Amino acid sequence: MANLALEGATWIRRDNWLVRLFDYKPFLIVMCLTPALGLLLVFLTYPLGLGLWLAFTDAKIGRAGQFVGLENFISLFKDKIFWLSVFNTLVYTFVATIGKFLLGLWLALLLNDNVRFKSLIRAIVLIPWIVPTVLSAMAFWWIYDPQFSIISYTLKDVMHVRDSNIDFLGTPWAARFSLIVANIWRGIPFVAISLLAGLQTISPSLYEAAMLDGATSWQRFRFITVPMLMPVLAVVLTFSVLFTFSDFQLVYAITRGGPSNATHLMATLAFQRGIPGGQLGEGAAIGVAMIPFLIAATIVTYLGLTRSKWQQGSDND
Amino acid sequence: MTNSTAASEPERTGAISWDSRLRRIMTLHLPLAMFVFVLLFPFYWMTLTTFKPNEELYDYKQYNPFLVHSPTLQNVKKLLFDTDYPQWLTTTMGVAFAATALSLFASVLAAYAIQRLRFKGSEWVGLGIYLAYLVPPSILFIPLAAVVVQFGLYDSPLALILTYPTFLVPFCTWLLIGYFKSIPYELEECAMIDGATRLQILRKVTLPLAVPGLISAGIFAFTLSWNEFIYALAFIQSSEKKTVPVAVLTQLVQGDDYQWGALMAGALLGSIPVALLYSFFVDYYVSSLTGAVKE
């Protein structure tokens, strides 16, 4: 500290107009916020508004659209494939989120125990989360190969519990669950590491007190771990719902919506209609149809966040 | 690895009965080992396939599929010399570096303004940037494609460099606001009393102290750009300008005849840069990830 003050004394103020301008707080604030807000306004807020507009036009790639009112939404309303994609998205989000959370919580509890090489295991566990999703999705694609799947081989020729190959991606429900498994696989690390962080903030004295009172391990989990973990859980859960709901990569990489549209999510259908199909307006309308779900998830995060502040008793900072 | 714990701890043998030790293995070590196995298996399979010659790849009767009998670099060689792979790698690298640099620049200033300059409405600006993070690329890419065409950026890497900050800036700003909070405000006050201008304070006091935060934000931004898929798929058309994740999927897959060896080689090679970066900075990574969630 003393060192810094000494160094500070040697600072020379060259008070030309430019220095004074940058020392003028409102100007500095504007200058500091301009790059970030500029980028976000041009490439996020503006496109978001444009997307809303496009949803009400018949825009195609390379051609500005005419206003057509609710036509896109009406045709989506009558479109069986659109409703199938809504159904798929809800099933995908619901099942994958539950899977990620149960397994992630289990892994977090295991890692919170005293095991050797804890930090090494923790580092290994995060790998599926950092490797580009499409690239690991391709590994799954290969694992799900109808003829050369290693899972089929293990079940058939090593364990002898099946006598035919599994057609992972060939029938609608098998394909849906294959995608959900890949999504859970990718989501476990983030959930586990986040919940582990939450677990480590719980004071051991709470468990000691409960043990003295004779609480069983289930009671300790139910009445200490779960409530104390709630704030982190709420945030991670909402993030996970939000990103699972809007997932695109896994499905596009593994099935591209097939077999016969059975695995299209709203995002992949929007892509198919909007970019290769060229129907920007219709694609944008599917995007707009996703917004109510996303807002609902965001409100839950916000409530989760405010509740965590209230529980920890910190100021609103 | 985890199962050896029991054998290597002779001093505790007397204290813990066999029964509870077995129980611990069944409830802790075994599930943990299974998690590690399942989470890593796809990478093992990816690596194995990369080094397998074609005749082993499709013959499970004669060769045990879980092993490589005569490893070959054929697939890697094919990938590096017969495709545009090196070109895709350099494009991805360039885009990731540029988008990271741009986002870090914008985020540092924004985080500094929100956390340190304190103005009326700074909380609202902070909330707005946080909400921007919650807008998923999969609802943005269609109108963004129209914007990219409007600006004449279609099929140019610049389109990616300018659009990636839509998800990088909110993330980095969020991370850096948390980091700036941990730097004592008194340091800046001292410098201000000594007559430093606000810009001097930012450059000579705050930024040097925020270097660890900058490193975490930087590696996160780089990894996120490297992983990005949907914008690169929608805004880039020419094969040689594609990024690795998109190119591997769209250029290496031709018809129904998948070259699994080359595909897995492409996936493996594309994962290595982020995996390396991750392994060097794993502690930053884990601590800032957990810190961000706890915030």
Q: How far is A173 from chain B (nearest CA, A)?
A: 22
Between CA A266 and CA A275 the distance in angstroms is: 14
User: Alpha carbon A276 to chain centroid distance?
Assistant: 25
Residue B163 has pLDDT above 60, yes or no: yes
DSSP tag of A57: B
pTM of the complete model: 0.87
pLDDT for the residue numbered B199: 81
> What 8-state DSSP symbol labels residue A66?
P
What values do phi and psi take at A167, rounded to 5? -90, 80
- Average pLDDT for chain B: 86
Probe site for chain B from A44, A85, A247 (most B CB atoms < 10 A): A44
Q: How far apart are CA A194 and CA A18, in angstroms?
A: 46
Would the CA dihedral through B84, B87, B93, B97 be positive or negative? negative
**CA–CA gap between residue B248 and residue B266 (Å, rounded):** 6
Task: Give me the pLDDT at residue A317, please.
Answer: 40
CA B216 to chain centre: 11
**Which of A16-20, A217-221, B89-93, B179-183 is the most confident on average?**
B89-93
Average pLDDT value for chain A: 86
Contact list, B181 vs chain A (CB under 8 Å): 317
pLDDT tens track for B265-288: 999 999 999 988 888 888 777 777
Q: Taking a C-beta distance cutoff of 8 angstroms, is the pair A117, A231 a contact?
A: no
CA geometry: angle B10, B12, B14, nearest 5 deg: 95
Q: Which helix (H) or strand (E) holds B150?
A: helix B137-150
A66-75, B19-28, B30-39, B157-166: lowest mean pLDDT where? B19-28
SS3 of chain B: helix, strand, coil, percent, to 5: 75, 0, 25
- The answer to whether the peptide bond before residue A259 is cis (omega within 30 degrees of 0) is yes
Measure A170 CA to nearest chain B CA, in Å: 14
DSSP letter assigned to residue B27: I
**Shortest CA distance from B128: residue in chain A:** A37
Q: Answer whether residue B9 shows pLDDT above 80.
A: no
CA distance B104 to B115: 16
Percentages of chain A per state (helix, strand, coil), in multiples of 5 = 75, 0, 25
- Mean pLDDT of the region A87-104: 94
DSSP three-state, residue A67: strand
Report ipTM (2 d.p.): 0.87
Counting Cα atoms < 13 Å in the Cβ hemisphere of A146 gives 9
| Most A CBs within 10 Å, among B112, B142, B205, to test the A interface | B142
Which chain B residues are Cβ-neighbours of A138 within 8 angstroms?
A: 46, 248-249, 263-264, 267
Contacts A–B by Cβ distance under 8 A:
316
